[in-house]
Amino acid sequence: MKEITCECGHVNPEGTVLCESCGKPVEKNQHIDGNEGNKLLNMRYDGSARRSQTYNRTYVDKIWNFFSSVKVGVTLIVLTLIASAIGTILPQEMYIPPNVDASTHYRDQYGLFGQIYYQLGLHNTFTSWWYMLLLALIGISIVIASIDRFFPLYKTLKKQKPKRHEIFMKKQRVFGETKSNQLDIDLFKNNLKKRHYSISEDNGHILAEKNRFARWGPYVNHIGLIIFLIGSLMRFVPAFYIDEYVWVREGETVMIPGTDGQYYMKNNDFILETYDEGDERFKEAIQNNGAPVPKNFQTDAVIYKRTDEVVPGKEPELEKVKEASAKMNHPIKFDEFALYQASYQLNEFEEMTFKVHDKDNEDTNYGEFTVDLTNPKSEYELDSGHRVVIEDYYPEYEMEDGRPVSISKYPKNPAFVFNVYPPGESEPETSFLGIGANVDASGDNEYKLGLVNFDVRDVTGLTVKKDHTLWVIALGGAIFMIGVIQGMYWNHRRIWLQPKADGVWIAGHTNKNWFALRRDIGKVIEGTNIKEPIDQHEMKDDQSSVSEEEEHGLKYNQQ
pLDDT at 557: 44
- Domain co-membership, 341 together with 245: yes
pLDDT of residue 545: 52
Residues of the chain with pLDDT under 70: 1, 38, 97-99, 538-559
Q: Closest Cα partner for 250 from 320, 169, 180, 348?
A: 348
Same domain? 67 vs 155: yes
Q: In whole angstroms, what is the distance from residue 382 CA to residue 388 CA? A: 8
How many structural domains compose the chain?
Answer: 5
Give yes or no: residues 250 and 152 share one domain.
Answer: no
86 and 174 assigned to the same domain: no
Q: Give me the pLDDT at residue 314, please.
A: 80
Query: In the prediction, which pLDDT does 495 show?
Result: 96
Residues 381, 389: Cα–Cα separation, whole Å: 9
337 and 357 both lie in a single domain? no
Query: Does 181 share its domain with 150?
Result: no
Contact 253, 265 (CB under 8 A): yes
Please report the pLDDT score of residue 512 as a whole number: 87
Identify whether the C-beta of residue 128 lies closer than 8 Å to the C-beta of residue 21.
no
Strand (E) or helix (H) holding 248: strand 241-249
- In our burial notation (b when 16+ CB lie closer than 10 A, e otherwise), range 393-431 reads bbbbbeeeeeebebbeebbbbbbbbbbbbbeeeeebbbb
**Who contacts 243 (Cβ-Cβ below 8 Å, separation ≥6)?**
94, 463, 464, 465
Domain assignment present for residue 228? The answer is no
Query: How far are the Cα atoms of 5, 41, 504 from residue 11, in angstroms, in the given order?
Result: 4, 21, 28
Comparing C-alpha atoms, which of 476, 462, 468, 472 is closest to residue 242?
468
| Three-state SS at 35 | coil
Contact between 14 and 32 (Cβ < 8 Å):
no
341 lies in the same domain as 409: no
Same domain for 102 and 78, yes or no, is yes
- Same structural domain, 39 and 120: no
Does the global pTM surpass 0.75? no
Q: Tell me whether residue 548 is in a domain.
A: yes
> Considering the domain boundaries, does residue 384 fall inside one?
yes
CA 348 from chain centre, in angstroms, equals 38
Considering the domain architecture, whether residues 205 and 261 belong to the same structural domain is answered as no
What local confidence, expressed as pLDDT, does residue 541 receive?
58
Domain of residue 109 covers 50-159
pLDDT for 555: 47
Residue 218, in any domain of the structure: no
Same domain as 356, residue 319? no
Picking from 117, 144, 159, the residue at the C-terminal end of a domain is 159
Q: Are 329 and 301 in contact (CB under 8 A)?
A: no
432 and 506 share one domain: no
